[in-house]
Chains A and B, each alone.
Chain A
Amino acid sequence: MTWFRRLLRIDLTRQQATVEEIPTAFIEAFVGGKGLGTYYLYREIDPRVDPLGTENKVFIAPGALNGTLTPAASRYEMVTRSPLTGLYLDCNAGGHFGPELKLTGHDLLILEGQSPQPVALVIEGDVVQFRPASHLWGRSIYETETALRAELGDPRFRIASIGPAGERLVKFACVSNDYSRQIGRGGLGAVFGAKRVKAIAVRGTRTLPVADPDAFMDAVDAALRHIFENPWVPHKREHGTIGSLDDNHTLGIVPVYNFTRSVFEGIDRVDSTVFGKLVEARLACAVCPVACSKGTRWRGGSESDGIEGPEYETAALLGLNCLVDDPQDIIHANLLCNQAGMDTISAGVVVGMVLAAVDESLISWDELGLSLDMSRGEMVTRLLERIARREGIGDLLAEGARAAGEALGFPDLAPQVKGLEFPAYDPRVSPGMALAYMTSDRGACHLRSYPFGREVSGVLPWFSLEQKAEFVKRQQDEKAAQECLGVCQFPYGIGLLTDDLPNLLSAASGEEWSYERLCAVGERIWNLSRAFNAQLGVDRRADYLPRRFSEVPMPDGMGAGQALSRADQDWLLDRYYCLRGWDDRGLPTPETWEQLGLGGLADLPTC
């Protein structure tokens, strides 16, 4: 019930697929999605494998509630060792691919080895086809998806693919499904590229029963009621995530010009009212009643040049962070990233970093292959094209902000933690977001915990350190649990598991699932990912913000004068480690490991 308890192991080297049973104990401890993916990663790969080598694997897991009517149960997970950070990576995406994958009858898909030739995996129930894909190699995400679906002759296939950036091993290449939904962060597209997997097409041929259909539909109705009572929902239905851009700019947290300031003179030209007028379609992921996705089209292109977005992060980072104030330039940059298959967050940070470095005379226009007579928008698109092709300076920028900053002699300009570029919140303006970035399992991330909303609404004291460690730790556990279920964070209030999600899982599975039991799953995942990273040398020393965010206060806006000193960061980390049951170095202790029931499931490494 709600699980098939089967995994599909794809040996790319030998072009063989085998089905294995997933033991009940694993499902009880890790549920699905992020949990199952993380656990199998921990079991099956040596953390030191080359992320782009044949030994690395990709664990692809739909959530436990994917494939049902659970509102917004659209998200699936990929877990691997990241080529961008060299550490644990998990990433999820919405759209329709996840539920379709689940309904092929599998709770987990493991890609291992390396295909001798470019391949498209076609999975229809238990039938797996290794389809030669050399003719698709080099083609964009949109072209690949359209062409492959036409070849397969059934419009019900859902497709995830990589673009030219993934093929060329750009370290922040993404995997994209349903045209415009991305497994965005950390370079999973490059791992696919190294394995020569151009695409995966899935068609669910199975049906999925739930244990107690009446109780399940009651739980669906209760969840829908709560979703529509959530005051956040009408705003996101109408405006999408970009609706937060104006407010966040007013609050002083949107990064401007490589996170050097927060006031952008051109905000009126790229605010949500401007983008609102460009919306041509409202789109939803599977079974989502919110439909936060807003479709726009680049007017310089053809009919087919549509995107879902730009989302908040994209508009902020490819826009304000690069001093771009023309909405069409932002849409164009977003489209280029979509087509090449690149993470718009990392791309916006890398490009913003080198543009700002010119002003500090650390690099020249000439070295970037740009000239002053170009518009900002043109500069951004030129650099994005070079990154996607690894051409000229693009070859270096394709390595990510940390590596590029080091190679170009300005490592401290790179806004990153553990090698993952900051999303669009300046951590100086939110001690909560700072701690979320510092402690995120995959490097700087706004999706593991999002305290900023609670800080500005007054639930948490904004510029204070108090209560932040408690909030971040608890929300990380809740969100990890949510990512095991495959439901989107937005309709449910960003990770705060009300009774709805435990009730839905209980009714679907026929077992008793409580909030506490789900949080314990989340906590297990956070300990496994930390233990994985610890074997790669991660401890407290890797948990700080780059120096400039503690030494250079925010110069303007509502957060003017704010910075987070090293002592403040230590204060937060001490509390956070204590709440996690980790030692002073920030590593899980044997007592914590046993207490979480990890003892019988995985070994705690000695580091």
Chain B
Amino acid sequence: MPPHIEVDLELCTGCRTCEQVCVFAHEGVFGPVRARIHILRRGVLTFEAKVCTHCAEARCVAACPTGALARKGNKTVFDAGLCTGCGECVQVCDLLFWDEERQQPLICDLCARCVRRCPEKAIRVVK
């Protein structure tokens, strides 16, 4: 299995610190609308974590008409310069998110800052 971020939902409290850390790390501002990881409420006591698993199947790469999304070794990488903003990638996978400001996908780049700042130590990089 390729390296990816994993959230242990037994430990996660749904505080969403990871979302804010992610946006700050990549954009220097706050606002989960541009996060590459999302913790969603599924019920009164339950959550769901959404973040790219860098899966080998990579439907997003297959869907991308310009090669902006590509496989590099074990990772799926994004080249903003090649992206035309068609949005095909987020149609085929719900672990990528749409940046409404830039009209481009947001995909986890495994920077792992969310891992370090999770107050519950619920996030890790699976190697």
Contacts and interface: CB of A to CB of B under 8 A. Distances in A.
Contacts of A287: 15-17, 20
A179 B46 CA distance: 11
B29 interface: yes
Interface string A116-157: 000000000000000000000000001000000000000110
A103 B101 CA distance: 14
Given A284-B14, A287-B20, A210 B30 contact: yes
B13 A204 contact: no
A291 B13 contact: yes
Contacts of B21: 69
Given A156-B38, A291-B13, A281 B32 contact: no
A546 to B, nearest CB: 36
A280 interface: yes
Interface string B26-37: 011111111000
Nearest to B15: A284
Instruction: Report, as a range, how many residues of chain A touch the other chain.
Output: 35 or more
A446 interface: no
Instruction: Report, as a range, how many residues of chain B touch the other chain.
Output: 20 to 34
B17 A142 contact: no
B45 A281 contact: yes
A283 B27 CA distance: 28
Contacts of A178: 41
Contacts of A280: 45
A286 B120 CA distance: 13
Nearest to A335: B44
A208 B120 contact: no
Contacts of A297: 45
B43 interface: yes
B23 interface: yes
A155 B20 contact: no
A205 B102 CA distance: 12
Contacts, number: 93
A283 B14 CA distance: 6
A421 interface: no
B33 A204 contact: yes
B15 A207 contact: no
Contacts of A203: 33
Given A284-B14, A284-B15, A207 B27 contact: yes
B45 A156 contact: no
Interface stretch (A182-190, A256-264, A303-311): A303-311
B100 interface: yes
A67 B28 CA distance: 13
Most buried by A among B20, B21, B38, B44: B44
A132 B46 CA distance: 29
B33 A291 contact: no
Contacts of A286: 15-16
B13 A206 contact: no
B100 to A, nearest CB: 6
B40 A69 contact: no
Interface in B67-94: none
A213 interface: yes
B44 A180 contact: yes
22 contacts: A67-B30, A96-B16, A155-B41, A178-B41, A179-B44, A180-B44, A204-B31, A204-B32, A206-B33, A207-B29, A207-B33, A209-B28, A283-B45, A284-B15, A285-B15, A286-B15, A288-B15, A289-B15, A289-B119, A293-B13, A304-B44, A306-B44
Given A103-B33, A291-B120, 9 more contacts: A68-B20, A69-B20, A204-B31, A207-B27, A207-B33, A208-B30, A213-B28, A288-B13, A308-B45
